[in-house]
Structure 1
Amino acid sequence: MAVRDPDVRLMLRVRDRDDQAAFAELVARFQHRLVGIMHHIVGNKEEAEDLAQEVFLRVFRTRAKYTPKAKFSTWLFTIANNLALNALRDRYRRLQLPLELRDSGSLAQRPHVPLAAHRDAPPTQNLQDRELADVVRRAMDDLNERQRVAVVLNKFEDMGYAEIAEVMGLTAKAVKSLLCRAREKLREALQAYIYMDREPPAAPVEE
């Protein structure tokens, strides 16, 4: 694993030599991605930043026990997944509204496919883009915890079923089922907006 994954080699330096420079490099490589994942899951940027910091603290505190059984990113995102889900459950227990809708919500600041309108776009386009951002955000927030995590890892981290299964402690078949149900729910939630400017396709005629 260390031969195939340079991040594993860095983590082994952290484990074996308390190499601060290697740890700083890991933080630099993964901090932005980790905050983005946490943001999509918990729906709040400040909380996402705190959780990402806690992930790295746990990595360093448990460095002596590190065993490279998978890619470093898989191990890191497993820790992140557990912390994010615990944070959501703590929120529910405190009787707060789950995943409040706000401007910094789930997909409002998606780094790779920004939904914000271009500054030169016409006002009607800006309005439609803001409406789409709100619809997508609400659709993501309506997914259950595990569905949301699976979608985030699949779409934002390009993870396949097997790797997501390892992160979430599930089987690949269970992950495939989660994603299938999540995509169906998202399709239903977004259908009205998708066909806003045109007629939806006609239903097939039964013979």
Structure 2
Amino acid sequence: MNQSERAASNENPDAGDEPDDLPWVLRARDGDAEAYDELVTRHRGRIFAMIRQMVKNDADAWDLSQEVFIKAWRALPRFEAKAKFSTWLYRIAHNAVYDWARRKRPEAGGELNDEIFGEERIDPASLTTPSSERRPDESLEGDELREKIEAALDKLSPEHREAVLLKDVNGLSYKEIAEVMECTLGTVMSRLFYARKKLQSILKDEYEAR
């Protein structure tokens, strides 16, 4: 283990969470552009998909994705590996999307007061969308269901939609989502509770058919 790797190991006792990314992160942090290209290749699909779900525009999503990776490259020397590299990228993407939204809709903004939903009412194991498992003869219905789910997500506020995408699509933990969205664990849980209830109401027929 070289000096850079030992330093990162000391910085991040949970670095083993991303054993494949860590060597590339260390090299990229030292200025290795080829190593950073590898990280971009690994993560650009998920970052683009996340942004695309938020901005609903391929061109803007592409531009914002490029912006995210440019900003990440410039900030990488200051990345201390105390969080997963992917979580750090999602945080940069979060900021990029909300900056974009403020430029597009300067009158919008403000934090939702969703702490009113008590944490004790939340089922952390609940799922946002119906099961993806289906019989072969259900393939046509599956396409229609996917469209309904996307339409239902569009009806959520940006904060609630982002929480759902980070948790149920990208698989982040509550703690990681709190880091990305810069809010408390309680806020994350209440946003997910509200969003899931809203989606379940919209998709009631699909849930009852499961």
What's the TM-score once normalised by structure 2's chain length?
A: 0.71
The residue aligned with 2:24 is 10
Q: 1:73 aligns with which of 86, 96, 102?
A: 86
Give the whole-Å Cα distance in 1 for the aligned partners of 2:171 and 2:79: 25
Residue 194 of structure 1: how far off its partner (Å): 4.5
Residue 131 of structure 1: how far off its partner (Å): 4.4
Q: 1:19 aligns with which of 19, 32, 40?
A: 32
The residue aligned with 2:201 is 188
1:140 aligns with 2:140: no
Residues 81 and 167 in structure 1, CA contact (< 8 A), matched pair in contact too: yes
Unaligned ranges ≥5, structure 2: 1-7, 10-14, 109-131
CA deviation vs aligned residue, 1:88-121 (integer Å, no higher than 9, x gap)? 33222399xxxxxxxxxxxxxxxxx6xxxx8xx7
Number of equivalenced pairs: 172
Residue 141 of structure 1: how far off its partner (Å): 1.0
Unaligned ranges ≥5, structure 1: 96-112, 199-207
CA deviation vs aligned residue, 1:58-90 (integer Å, no higher than 9, x gap)? 011223322222111111110011111222332
Name the structure, 1 or 2, with higher relative contact order (CA <8 Å, separation 6+). 2
Distance 1:91 1:134, change over 3 A: farther
The within-5 A match list for 1:77-92 is 77-92=90-105
The within-5 A match list for 1:75-154 is 75-93=88-106, 126=140, 128-129=141-142, 131-154=144-167
Q: 2:49 aligns with which of 5, 27, 36?
A: 36
The residue aligned with 1:157 is 170
The residue aligned with 2:75 is 62
The within-5 A match list for 1:191-206 is 191-195=204-208
Residues 41 and 152 in structure 1, CA contact (< 8 A), matched pair in contact too: no
Percentage of pairs with the same residue = 36
Give the whole-Å Cα distance in 2 for the aligned partners of 1:194 and 1:51: 34
CA deviation vs aligned residue, 1:175-206 (integer Å, no higher than 9, x gap)? 011100000000111114545x79xxxxxxxx
Q: Which has the higher helix share?
A: 2
Give the whole-Å Cα distance in 1 for the aligned partners of 2:165 and 2:189: 14
Give the whole-Å Cα distance in 1 for the aligned partners of 2:106 and 2:205: 34
Residue 82 of structure 2 aligns to a residue whose secondary structure is coil
**Aligned-partner residue type, residue 67 of structure 1:** E
Residue 10 of structure 1: how far off its partner (Å): 2.0
Q: 1:172 aligns with which of 185, 189, 200?
A: 185
